[in-house]
Amino acid sequence: MIKNERPLRQAFVPEKILHREGQKQELGNCLKPALDGRKPRNVFLHGPCGTGKTMLVKWTLEKLEEQSPDVKTSFVNCWKESTMHSTLATLLKGLDVYLGSGTSTSKALNYFEEEAEERNVVVALDEVDTLENKKLLYSLSRADTGIVVISNKKFALAGLDSRTKSSLSPEEINLPAYSKDEIFDIIKERTKYAFVSGTAPNPALRLISRLSKGDARIAIEALRRSGMESEQREKEKVTEDIVKQEFKKMKYLRKSEALKQLNDHEKTIYEMINDKWMKGPEMYDKYREKQENAIGERSFRNYLSHLADLGLLETKGKKSTKKYRKGV
């Protein structure tokens, strides 16, 4: 049934990017000056989980290198490499510079600045909100390089100091959640390369599209799991019953993935909420009692919105009457 599992993996970057034409053009226009040896415009790419942010950036970086041998790009996931030193080491590795053991962070930064002076460099930092020391963004922005920062959180850069914000000055590009029809197109395209013809019928794909709630990553993972389960059961094709079963299993996976994205403040907020509806101001007072270095009320509201976007909180009401409770 599954003839090639690679297109069903999270790291796969397809040749054809669907339903992101506007954002693809915006990102390309910002980075295109690198092809002429000029400094690109920095970019902040944000949107909910599973909206194609990482895929779009990786695709664009690949195309830049294909168009010019003088352009060199590098990508790092800050959730995996969260310290300043490990982030720099990974970026340098992508530029074919390998640090020796015991190389200091300041020396690593010097190496990066030298590379940026000699080559047309564009770097991308995924899940930038998990970067432990945001001062690195200032240092990178002062180098002669283009920077793309990526986050699920619209306000990921809100806490930067004014000097870093001014130096970075990124163009913002938002990627909204996909529609059901867009998700269908995406997974339909993947089946052409991953499945034997006719084994992933449209009714099963339509069901995946509906249950994934705009998250392409969840949809593709559900497609992969449904295909594997169908093979184990020796079915001729993926059925809707198998899809429903796999989504029940994935409910816990989605919660686990969402919780990984939370910072310390958001974890505190999530842990203090139960199944009882609470108003925002009431929750903020409770949060301040628990958190020693409490954030301001505006940032607190932003975090509540992020938790709701991840499906970890349910909401009802509007503005001052809005209430929250645990959603997963």
In a domain, 247, yes or no: yes
pLDDT of residue 232: 96
Q: Are residues 168 and 240 in the same domain?
A: no
What is the 3-state secondary structure of 166-206? HHHCCEEEECCCCCHHHHHHHHHHHHHHHECCCCCCHHHHH
Instruction: Read off the CATH number of the domain in which 311 is found.
Output: 1.10.10.10
Among 174, 197, 231, where does a domain finish?
Answer: 174
**What confidence category does residue 299 fall into, taking pLDDT thresholds of 50, 70 and 90?**
confident
145/123 Cα distance (integer angstroms): 7
DSSP letters, 14-51, are -SS--S-HHHHHHHHHHHGGGGGTSPPPPEEEE-STTS
In a domain, 4, yes or no: no
pLDDT of residue 309: 76
In a domain, 6, yes or no: no
Pick from 129, 151, 122, 44: nearest CA to 82: 129
Q: Are residues 79 and 156 in the same domain?
A: yes
**Residue 205 in this model has a pLDDT that exceeds 90:** yes
Q: Are residues 157 and 46 in the same domain?
A: yes
In a domain, 10, yes or no: no
pLDDT of residue 116: 95
Q: What is the pLDDT of residues 92-115, one digit of tens each?
A: 999 999 999 899 999 999 999 999
71/64 Cα distance (integer angstroms): 7
Burial 210-226 (b: 16+ CB within 10 A, else e): ebbbbbbbbbbbbbbbb
Distance in Å from the first CA to the final CA of the chain:
33
In a domain, 134, yes or no: yes
In a domain, 8, yes or no: no
pLDDT of residue 30: 98
- Domain limits at 230? 178-259
Average pLDDT over residues 151-156: 89
> Among the listed ranges 108-112, 124-128, 157-161, 243-247, which one has the minimum average pLDDT value?
157-161
> If you search the block for the tokens 């910072």, which residue do you land on?
263
Q: Are residues 228 and 284 in the same domain?
A: no
pLDDT of residue 303: 83
Q: How many domains does the chain have?
A: 3
* Residue 162 per-residue DSSP state: H
* Alpha helix ranges (H) inside 51-201: 53-67, 84-94, 105-118, 135-142, 162-168, 180-194
Among 174, 201, 230, where does a domain finish?
Answer: 174
Q: Are residues 25 and 170 in the same domain?
A: yes
The torsion angles phi and psi of 195, rounded to 5 degrees, stand at -115, 150
Instruction: Read off the CATH number of the domain in which 88 is found.
Output: 3.40.50.300
**What confidence category does residue 289 fall into, taking pLDDT thresholds of 50, 70 and 90?**
confident
Among 141, 174, 207, where does a domain finish?
Answer: 174
In a domain, 243, yes or no: yes
In a domain, 14, yes or no: no
**Residue 155 in this model has a pLDDT that exceeds 90:** no
